[in-house]
A and B are shown apart, each in its own frame.
Chain A
Amino acid sequence: MSDQQMIPRRDLDRLRSSLDKQVAAHRKRAEAAEAKLAELEAKLAELQRAKEETEAKAKEERQKLAAELQRERERMAELQRQRDEAAAWAWYYEFFGPGGPYERYKAQQRAPRQTSGLRQSRQPTPKQIADALAEADPKTLARQLVQELEKMKRRR
């Protein structure tokens, strides 16, 4: 007589029923877990897409900013060039304009020489003017003016 034959039929049925229930419960849990996994995978894919989209947008924004900064720098450089030119003209007019150092210098040259020497000493010498010019604006125009003054000195 085998062991199986010794277990009563009723117990066997109960055991089978219990096992069937357990299998069904496990299957249910497995299905729920699979559904959850699918849901999480979908969510992950969505997040991945959102991340890529955000990164692409950030990259685009960064490129826009860099391009705008470049344009600003170019505008600034152009503006700087115009301002340098305007400042050079302003400086030129201040120097050669009415009441400017050049006019005073020419007037001094035309005026008869003072004998006392006191007044003479107060007037700036061409070198003083040249030095002041070089200090005030060491750019091209200043150099040109210094050269002009040197020429004037030589002509004297």
Chain B
Amino acid sequence: METETDRDLKLALLIARFRRKLAERHAKALIQYLRGGKNERPTDDTEA
């Protein structure tokens, strides 16, 4: 018996997880860039 609130919560959680994963990927790329492993600064896709 899933209510609208439950669906909203699940969706919000899904989005939050996705954004966190993007942010983690960006953070890792940034660190790699700072260590000199990459030539271009990685772009932040989480704000899109």
Contacts and interface: CB of A to CB of B under 8 A. Distances in A.
Interface in A38-75: 54-55, 58, 61-62, 65-66, 68-69, 72-73, 75
Nearest to B6: A62
B20 A72 contact: yes
B19 to A, nearest CB: 6
B44 A86 contact: no
A32 interface: no
B6 A65 contact: yes
A94 to B, nearest CB: 7
Contacts of B27: 79, 82-83, 86
Interface residues of A, number: 23
Interface in A84-98: 86-87, 89-90, 93-94
Interface of B: 1-3, 5-6, 9-10, 12-13, 16-17, 19-20, 23-24, 26-27, 30-31, 33-34, 41, 44
